[in-house]
Copies of this chain bind each other. A is one copy, B any other.
Amino acid sequence: MVTHRIALIPGDGIGREVTPAARQVLDVVGKRHGVGFAYDEFDWSCRRYAELGAMMPEDGLDRIRHHDAIFLGAVGDPSVPDHVSLWGLLIPIRRGFRQYVNLRPVKVFAGVESPVRAARAGEVDLVVVRENVEGEYSEIGGRLGHDLAVQEAVFTRAGTSRVAAFAFRLAAARRGRLTSATKSNGIVHTMPFWDEIVAETATDHPGVTWDAEHIDALCAKVVLDPARFDVVVASNLFGDILSDLAAAVAGSIGIAPAANLNPEGEFPSMFEPVHGSAPDIAGRGIANPLGAIGTAAMLLDHLGHAEAAAEVEQAIGDVLAHTRVRTPDLGGTATTETFTKAVLEALR
């Protein structure tokens, strides 16, 4: 039996509530497939920050460098400025482990009503491939006294072409359609650079049909006609916006899974649902665990267990299609625990 070592970082708020759900699912489906998981739990969080003044220890990255994967619940708490919690934990891991792809699949499931009329179950199935380590999220910049703040967006050829290549390969393995998010009419230096590199990358993938859309029009189209999209490749900021928007179109941000991938496998990848720590509902046991469970499926897939991953996805789909168990974000009254149990039963 193969055993994978997983670094578990439940984090803050509902992150602590949905992480056990993911873990239970991994254990159950792993058992059936002869795959074991050994977890090391790390209490890196805003709570730790309050006590010790840092989100994680100085050698944090070294402590998880040799794990097979990282599972992170969610990070953030109103008592700590967002940029502290994120730049003190999430972003150092993404960057330190060269997780340059943030993969965010979005599906409309049968049994979930989309807020958007055109989004019918089974028809919407897109993946946002978000550049995850450079671009608009940059520490370069600052203030000139009281009166001026500047921030530099930085795009490298290497960084742009590797994420573009990943997206084209993914599109080739799916329905062969790719859309690149741009804003080269307004952002006149970095976005035309992005466009050129995407166009160059496209020549290596003649089987993929692709186009570029300005982010303003693209957001509108995600609402008007989400079924038209297959793979959407976007910069760090645009990918963040598009994946939240698309998750809302799918019915709830609570069901959206995500993976921060280091595709070359030089470092562990990190699996982290799209939703945040949701301080408004934290502690009540009503967080939707499906985002975390779908994220666990992505972890399985990444570690080479495609069949097990498919079973987890199937179980999520079955619970939504064939039961009425729902957490409040989906209009129901179920708890995290009940919803998780329903998935575990569907798995059996």
Contact = CB atoms under 8 A, between A and B. Distances in A.
Interface string A122-165: 00000000000000110101110011111111111110000000
Contact of A245 (B139, B149, B220): B220
A115 interface: yes
Contacts of A249: 223
Interface string A317-347: 0000000000000000000000000000000
Contacts of A154: 148-150
B150 A190 contact: yes
Contacts of A186: 86, 136-137, 236-237, 240
B86 A185 contact: yes
Contacts of A61: none
Contacts of A220: 244-245, 247-248, 253
Interface stretch (A42-50, A211-219, A264-272, A300-308): A211-219
11 contacts: A82-B184, A83-B192, A115-B117, A136-B186, A139-B188, A148-B154, A149-B193, A151-B153, A153-B153, A219-B219, A220-B245
Interface of A: 76, 82-83, 86-87, 113, 115-118, 136-137, 139, 141-143, 146-158, 183-194, 215-217, 219-221, 223-224, 236-237, 240-241, 243-245, 247-249, 253
Counting from the closest, the 8 A-B pairs by CB-CB distance are A82-B185, A220-B248, A149-B193, A216-B244, A141-B189, A151-B189, A151-B190, A219-B245
A249 B223 CA distance: 8
Query: In the complex this chain forms, how many copies of it are found?
Result: 2
Nearest to A247: B220
Contact of A188 (B87, B191, B194, B248): B87
B223 A116 contact: yes
A76 B216 CA distance: 16
A84 to B, nearest CB: 9
Contact of A115 (B147, B219, B223, B236): B223
A137 B157 CA distance: 21
Nearest to A244: B216
B150 A153 contact: yes
A216 B241 contact: yes
Contacts of A141: 152-153, 188-190
Contact of A116 (B82, B117, B142, B219): B117
A149 B155 contact: yes
Given A217-B244, A241-B241, A146 B153 contact: no
A237 B216 CA distance: 9
Contact of A137 (B152, B156, B187): B187
Name the residue among A118, A186, A193 with the largest chain B CB count within 10 angstroms.
Answer: A186
Contacts of A151: 152-153, 187-191
Contacts of A253: 220
